[in-house]
Amino acid sequence: MSLLLADSGATKTTWARVEKDHQQIVITSGMNPNLKVDRELESVVYDELFAQLSKNELTHVYFYGAGTGEVNTAGRLEKILQEAFLNCEIHVGTDIEAAGLSTFGNESGVVAISGTGSGAAMMNNGKVEKVMNARSFPEGDFGSGAHIGSLILKDFFAGSAPVTIRELIDENRKLSIEDLFVQFQDPMKSKMIAAKAMKDVATLGDIEGHTNRDYLKDLVHSSLTLFMTQLKHTFGINLTRFPLRFVGTTAWYFEDIFIDFFKNEQVNVDLIEKDPINGMMNYHRNML
Residue 188 lies in a domain: yes
pLDDT mean over 168-172: 90
Contact call for residues 140 and 154 (beta carbons, < 8 A): no
- 135 and 232 in a single domain? The answer is yes
Domain boundary among 209, 233, 262: 209
Residue 43 lies in a domain: yes
Q: Over 70: is that where the pLDDT of 285 sits? A: yes
- For residue 136, the model assigns a pLDDT of 47
- 124 and 249 in a single domain? The answer is yes
CATH of the domain at 244: 3.30.420.40
- 38 and 124 in a single domain? The answer is no
Would the CA dihedral through 92, 96, 99, 100 be positive or negative?
A: negative
- For residue 78, the model assigns a pLDDT of 98
What gap in Å lies between CA 276 and CA 239, rounded to an integer? 21
pLDDT in tens, 120-163: 999 999 899 999 986 544 456 899 999 999 999 999 999 999 99
pLDDT mean over 61-71: 93
- For residue 175, the model assigns a pLDDT of 87
pLDDT mean over 39-68: 96
- 7 and 40 in a single domain? The answer is yes
What single-letter DSSP state applies at residue 116?
Answer: S
Contact call for residues 287 and 126 (beta carbons, < 8 A): no
What gap in Å lies between CA 21 and CA 271, rounded to an integer? 26
In angstroms, the Cα distances linking 277 to 86, 125, 154, 183 are 24, 19, 33, 32
pLDDT grade, residue 211 (50/70/90)? low
What gap in Å lies between CA 134 and CA 67, rounded to an integer? 12
pLDDT in tens, 226-271: 999 999 999 999 999 999 999 999 999 999 999 999 999 999 999 9
pLDDT mean over 154-181: 92
- For residue 286, the model assigns a pLDDT of 85
What long-range pairs does 125-130 form, CB within 8 A, spacing at least 24?
126/100, 126/101, 128/94, 128/96, 128/97, 128/100, 130/234, 130/235
Task: Describe the strand order of the beta sheet including 12-19 as a list of residue ranges.
Answer: 22-29, 12-19, 3-8, 60-65, 89-94
Residue 214 lies in a domain: no
Residue range(s) defining the domain that contains residue 192:
148-209
Domain boundary among 170, 188, 209: 209
What gap in Å lies between CA 255 and CA 219, rounded to an integer? 14
Number of domains in the chain: 3
- 23 and 92 in a single domain? The answer is yes
Contact call for residues 67 and 11 (beta carbons, < 8 A): no
- 41 and 159 in a single domain? The answer is no
pLDDT grade, residue 10 (50/70/90)? confident
Task: Fill in the amino acid letter for 66.
Answer: A
- For residue 138, the model assigns a pLDDT of 42
- 116 and 196 in a single domain? The answer is no
Residue 252 lies in a domain: yes
- 187 and 73 in a single domain? The answer is no
Domain boundary among 167, 188, 209: 209
- 257 and 156 in a single domain? The answer is no
- 49 and 154 in a single domain? The answer is no
For the chain, give the percent of residues with pLDDT over 70: 95
What gap in Å lies between CA 38 and CA 76, rounded to an integer? 7
- For residue 135, the model assigns a pLDDT of 59
What gap in Å lies between CA 104 and CA 242, rounded to an integer? 11
pLDDT mean over 4-20: 93
DSSP codes of every residue in 227-243: HHHHHHHHHTTHHHHS-
Residue 216 lies in a domain: no
- 8 and 70 in a single domain? The answer is yes
pLDDT in tens, 105-125: 999 999 999 998 899 999 999
Name residues whose C-beta falls within 8 Å of residue 223's C-beta, 6 or more positions apart in sequence.
142, 143, 144, 147, 148, 151
Q: What is the 3-state secondary structure (H, E, C) of 168-209?
A: HHHHHCCCCHHHHHHHHCCCCCHHHHHHHHHHHHCCHHHHCC
Residue 215 lies in a domain: no
Q: Over 90: is that where the pLDDT of 225 sits? A: yes
Residue 266 lies in a domain: yes
Closest CA to 13 of 47, 58, 60: 47
- 64 and 192 in a single domain? The answer is no
pLDDT in tens, 24-48: 999 999 999 988 999 999 999 999 9
Measure the CA dihedral 45/49/51/53, to 10°.
-130
Q: What is the mean pLDDT of the chain?
A: 92
What pTM does this model have? 0.89
Q: Which of 90-94, 195-199, 211-215 has the lowest mean pLDDT?
A: 211-215
